[in-house]
Amino acid sequence: MKLDRLGDFQRTHRNGDLRLDHAGQTVRLLGWCRRVRNLGSLVFLDLRDRWGLVQLVANEETADPELLAKLKAVRSEFVLAAEGVVAERESKNPNMATGDIEIRLTGLRILNTAATLPFPLEDEGVGEDLRLTYRFLDLRREQLQRNMILRSETSNIIRNYFRKHDFVEFETPILGKSTPEGARDYLVPSRVHAGEFFALPQSPQLYKQMLQVSGFERYVQICRCFRDEDLRADRQPEFTQVDVEMSFVRQEDIQNLIEGLMVELCPLVGKHPVAPFPRLTYKDAMEWYGSDKPDLRCKIKIQDVTGLFVGSEFNLFRAAADSQGQRRVRGLFLPGEAAGAFSRKQLDELQETAKQLGAGGLPYAKWGKDGLASSFKKFISPELEAELKATLGIRGEGLAIFAVGTDDQTSRVLGELRLRLARTFGLTDPSAFEFLWVVDFPLLQWDEEDQRFVACHHPFTSPHPDDLDLLQSNPGACRAVAYDLVLNGYELGGGSIRIHDAETQSLMFHTIGISESEARAKFGYLLDALAFGAPPHGGLALGLDRLVMLLAGEDNIREVIAFPKTAQARCLMTDAPSPVDERQLRDLHLLQDSKQTYRVGAVFFESAEGGNAELRGQALQQISQMTPRQSQGLVTLDAQGQILDAQTLSGPTFDF
Ligand code: ASP
C-alpha cells in the first residue's frame, strides 16, 4: 500500500478532549485505528491517541469516493491523520468521554499500515508471556498507558516535593564495588582490570551517607537498584527506589517528611490519608498481626489465649500453657454468618493450608446457626467458651482458628490465614488505604547457615540508644532505630538512623563476623568518612514500583514497569540475558586458556570436582587457612596454581 506523508499536517486537538462544545469545528487528528466498522451506508472508525478515543464517520453516499476507498482499506492499528468536522452524534455513547460527538471525515492520510496483532488489545485474558514478548504493543493498552502516566506523575510529585523541602538530587554510580552482606550482586567484569569486577548497586546506601559527610544535609535520588534474588510478584532484578538521606534528624523527622509526601501523592488516585500514620512496634505487629507488614485494612487481631488452657484436659493446648512461654496458643476470630457457616470441606482445605504453613493442624471453634462446633468441643466448658468469647472479642456467628507453637510458627500461620480468610469473608475493604509505620525492628538476626549474626536492615543501622550495651552482651536482643512504611500489607519502604561514629561501626562489623581487615578492605572509605566529622544522619528508601502498583490498584509490579523482567528474570521482548561472543568473553578476561575456574563443591573443604585435582587441592588448602567457615565458592587459579580470585557464593569474599 502506498503510504501518505505526514507532511505539514498539524494536529489541532487531542482525540480524548473533543466535546459537544467543539461541534461545527474542523479538526485535524492523529492516532491509531482501534477498529473500523462498516454499517450499511456508514463507515465508522475509532481513532486512538494518548489522550483518548474518538469516533470518525463517513457516509457511503455523500463522501468523496477516494476518501471512502482509503477508509475501507484501513485495518486495526493503522496509523492515521484525519480531518473532519465535529458533529453531535445521533446515538450517544455514555461510556466514552467523547461519546456525544463524532467527526465527519473530510480527509484521511494513511501514515502506516499494521500487521495483524499477535493478540487483540482489548482481550483481557492474553497470557503474560505473549504480552511481554510484544510489550511495545501491550503498552498500547489503556490500562498500561494509564499506569505509565500515573508513574510519571508520581515521580514528578516526588521530585517537586523534595525540591520544595530543599533536597539536592544526586546521581550516584551504577558501576560500584561489590560488598559482602545484603543480597547477591550483579557483577560487571572489568576489561581494563583483568579479573576485577564492578557490582551494580543494590542501593546507593553508602554514597548517600558519604554525601552527608560532605555536608549536603538533604539528599534525594530516584534511582535504579539491582539485586540478584529469587523473584516474586512484587520483586524485580532491577527496581526503582526513591532514596532519601538527611543530616541532623531523628526517626520522627523522616517519618513526618515521608507522611507529607504520601498525603500529596494519594490524591492522584482519589485517596486522602491522614497523617500522622499509626506507629506500631515490630513486636506488637508480630503479636497482633503475625506480620512485620500488617494489612490494617483488616481490623482483626491475633490474641494470646494460652492462659485459658492452664490445667485444661486438652493436652495439646495445656502443654503449651505449661511451657513457660516457649510455646503459646494464639487465635483469632472471623465474625459473620459466612464464617460461622464454613463447611467441613472448607475447614479441611484450611487445615491443608495451615499445614503447608508449618502448622501441625488447625484447631477451630465455630459459632453458627446450630451453636458451637469445634475440633476440640469436648474440652470447651461453658466457662471456657465465655472466656474465649471475651478474649477473642467473639460476638454472634463466626469462626475462631487457633495455632499452637513458638511465636514464629504461630505468627506465620495466623498471620497468613488472617489475610486469606479476611479476603474470603469480605472483612477487608479493598478500596481502603491503610498506612502505618513499623518501628523498633531487631538490629540483628541469627543466620543458621552461616552461624553468625547478620544485620536485619543493613550493617550501617544504628542500634537503639537504650540497647547499646546489648550489642556486646546479647546482640540478638538489641533493637535498631529502623522503621518501615507499610501500606495495605506491603512494605513500601524502610530506613534507619545510621551509625555515625567509626567506633560503633567497627563494633557492628565485628558483631556480624566481619574481621577488621575485611572491614578495612571493603568499607575503609566509610570508616574513614565517619572519622572526619560525620553528622548524625538517617534516611529511608521507598520502592517506587510497589508504590505505583498500589496507587494503580494493581497486584503485580510488572504492570507498572514499562519493560519488566519475567519471574524467571528474563526480558522476553529483547530476549536478554543472551549468550555473547567468545571474543567479548576474552576481552573481559572471562575466558582464558591459562586460567581455570573451579567450582568448589557443596562445601568448600569437603568436596570439589573438575579440573586438576592437585591444583584444586592446593587451592582448598589455601582457602581453608583464610576462613574457618564452610561455604560454597568459586576459585580461579592460574596455570601455576596461584589463586587469582576466590569468591564464596554466600558469606565473605576474599581479596588477592
Ligand atoms: N538502602 C536501604 C535499602 O535499600 C534503605 C535505607 O536504609 O535508606 O533498603
Q: What is the pLDDT of residues 328-381, one digit of tens each?
A: 999 999 999 999 999 999 999 999 999 999 999 999 999 999 999 999 999 999
Helix/strand/coil for 226: strand
Nearest CA to ligand 1 atom 7: 495
Residue 484: per-residue pLDDT: 98
Cis before 577? omega within 30: yes
> Which residues on neighbouring strands pair with residue 32, listed in sequence order?
48, 79
CA distance to 111, 121, 444, per residue, from 116 (Å): 16, 11, 57
Only one residue has cell 493503522, namely 78
> Are 60 and 43 a contacting pair, CB within 8 Å?
yes
Q: How far apart are CA 195 and CA 634, in angstroms?
A: 13
Residues whose CB is less than 8 angstroms from the CB of residue 541 and which lie 6 or more positions away in sequence, other chains included: 203, 241, 242, 243, 244, 493, 494, 495
What spacing in Å lies between the alpha carbon of 212 and ligand 1's midpoint?
A: 15
- Ligand 1 midpoint to CA 422 (Å): 31
Measured over the CA atoms of residue 181, residue 182, residue 183 and residue 187, the dihedral's sign is: negative
Q: So what's the pLDDT on residue 640?
A: 67
Mean pLDDT of 139-156: 97
**Residue 307 DSSP class:** G
Q: Give me ligand 1 centre to Cα 448, in Å.
A: 24
Residues 33, 75 contacting (CB under 8 angstroms): yes
Distance of CA 297 to the CA centre of its chain: 19
- Ligand 1 centroid, distance to 593 Cα (angstroms): 41
Ligand 1 centroid from CA 457, angstroms: 8
Q: Is-contact 135 28, C-beta < 8 A? A: no
pLDDT in tens, 372-381: 999 999 999 9
Ligand 1 probe mutation, 185, 235, 243, 438, most atoms within 8 A of CB: 243
Q: What is the predicted pLDDT for the residue at 610?
A: 45
The rounded percent of the chain whose pLDDT value lies above 90 is 84
Q: Please tell me the distance from the alpha carbon of residue 309 to that of residue 317, in angstroms, as a whole number.
A: 6
pLDDT of residue 626: 65
Q: Given a cut of 60, is residue 608 above it in pLDDT?
A: no
Nearest CA to 144 out of 132, 155, 156 is that of 132
**What would the DSSP string read from start to end of 463-518?**
BPGGGTTHHHH-GGG-BBSEEEEEETTEEEEEEEEBP-SHHHHHHHHHHTT--HHH
Mean pLDDT of 506-511: 94
The set of cell numbers assigned to 242 is 526513591
CA–CA dist 611, 607 (Å, integer): 13
C-alpha distances in Å from residue 284, one per residue of 142, 290, 411, 527? 42, 9, 11, 35
Average pLDDT, the chain: 92
* Three-point CA angle 495, 153, 12, nearest 5°: 170
Query: Bridge-partner residues for 367, per DSSP?
Result: 372, 398
Give the whole-angstrom CA distance, residue 337 versus residue 397. 5
Query: What's the rounded Cα separation, in Å, for the pair 460 and 251?
Result: 15
CA-wise closest residue to 472 among 497, 506, 495: 506
Residue from 458, 461, 498 whose mutation best tests the ligand 1 pocket (most atoms within 8 A of CB): 458
> The pTM is what?
0.87
* Substitution candidate for ligand 1 out of 208, 236, 457, 499 with most atoms within 8 A of CB: 457
Mutation choice for ligand 1 from 167, 200, 205, CB with most ligand atoms inside 8 A = 205
Predicted confidence (pLDDT) per residue in 239-285, tens digit: 999 999 999 999 999 999 999 999 999 999 999 999 999 999 999 99
Pairing relationship of beta strands 52-59 and 101-112 according to DSSP bridges: parallel
Per-residue model confidence (pLDDT) at position 235: 82
Share of the chain above pLDDT 70, in %: 91
Q: What is the pLDDT of residue 40?
A: 83
Give the Cα separation of 644 and 656 in Å (integer): 7
What are 19-45's pLDDT values in tens digits? 999 999 999 999 999 999 999 899 999
Which cell numbers in the block locate residue 482?
A: 529502623
Alpha carbon of residue 609 to chain centroid: 38
Match 498525603 to its residue by C-alpha cell: 263
Residue type, 552: A
User: Which amino acids bring their CB within 6 angstroms of ligand 1?
Assistant: 203, 205, 494-496, 539-541
pLDDT band at 604 (very low <50, low <70, confident <90, very high): very low
Look at residue 648 and tell me whether its pLDDT is greater than 80: no
Phi, psi angle pair for 372, to nearest 5°? -85, 130
**Residue 609: which pLDDT band, with cuts at 50, 70 and 90?**
very low
Q: Which residues contact 555 (CB under 8 A, 6 or more apart)?
A: 233, 549
Distance 141 CA to ligand 1 centre (A): 34
Helices (H), ranges, 214-324: 251-265, 282-289, 315-321
Report the nearest-CA residue for atom 8 of ligand 1: 540
Determine the residue type at 332: L
Q: Are 27 and 12 in contact (CB under 8 A)?
A: yes
The neighbour count for residue 620, using CB atoms within 10 Å, is 19
Tell which residue, 197, 203, 207, has the closest CA to residue 238: 203
Confidence class for position 481, pLDDT limits 50, 70, 90: very high
The distance in angstroms from the start CA to the end CA of the chain is 65
The rounded Å distance from CA 561 to ligand 1 centre is 21
Looking at residue 601, what is its pLDDT?
Answer: 40
Compute the residue count for the chain. 656
Cα(543) to centroid(ligand 1), Å: 10
Distance separating alpha carbons of residues 417 and 295, to the nearest angstrom: 12
The per-residue pLDDT for 134 is: 98
Beta bridge mates, 57: 44, 104
E strands of 498-618, at which residues?
537-543, 596-600
